[in-house]
Amino acid sequence: MQPENRLDNIQAVLSYLKDIIMQDKTLSTAIQLPQKISGSFFHANWIAPQNVKTLITTRNGGVSLGKFSSLNVGTHVGDNPEHVAKNREIVQQQVSVPMAYLNQIHSADVVRATDSVNIPLDADASWDNSGSVACAVMTADCLPVLFCDRAGTVVAAAHAGWRGLASGVLQNTVAAMGVEPIEIMAYFAPAIGAEAFEVGQDVFDAFVSDLPAAERAFQGIGGGKYLADIYDLARLVLQREGVTQIFGGEHCTVLERESFFSYRRDGQTGRMVSAIWLEE
């Protein structure tokens, strides 16, 4: 390559990065670098509209003790209820609208988030277009998926364990949002990584029988066992639905012990929460 051509290429790259920064997009978002997690909270690393807000908790910064140390928001895991309530207050202080938690049952059911504020509904996903509530899902290995549309008019959050993922929770969430799938973007918050998610033949069959391309997300390790990539499974499901703007999926809740709760790693443990809402 001639020196003048190399210089032109460098200038073109610099110009591109300048444009990204001027558009209030971070460099890590522009080139899809994983986020370094520290502290109690972080935000989805994507190119959503500015009125779409997100909050994802780590395991740190709360008051719970022992197995639940320390920012556990799960009321169903055996933690001290007063500690959980305080932890939820800590999270709520970061969110400008009420949090709509769900009573998650590993289903494919989707509800309107405004209906689940006072008494959590039995469901594994919620959506909102009012801007008066935050869609929220709790996880400790299962995949949290946050959604919005390009216009910033509707958001949703889904809890996608393998059962819910196989039975259609993501498809149902996309449908509930009421916009064309091509207008939707999705963010994969931290879940169990492919290096740690060992599953049996039943899980392989549940996905591959319906979606043959899902075979690529499984690595056979013998004895009817596989290592499964839940991020790739979710990506394939969403792409089949017509959702092409997909971000995140770079963390492992099992391996990143200092940052995340993991049921697969620890058994009895706490829960993180991933939330999304519209801000006026």
Domains of the chain, earliest start first: 45-192+243-278 (3.60.140.10)
> Residue 34's pLDDT is what?
55
User: Can you give 151-185 as a three-state secondary structure string?
Assistant: CCCCEEEEEECHHHHHHCHHHHHHHHHCCCHHHEE
> Residue 3's pLDDT is what?
47
Are 274 and 136 contacting, i.e. CB atoms less than 8 angstroms apart? Answer: yes
> Residue 38's pLDDT is what?
67
Task: Give me the average pLDDT of each 10-residue run along the chain (280 residues).
Answer: 50 46 40 63 97 98 98 98 98 98 98 97 98 98 98 98 98 98 98 98 97 98 97 98 98 97 98 96
Would you tell me how many other CB atoms lie within 10 Å of the CB of residue 42? 18
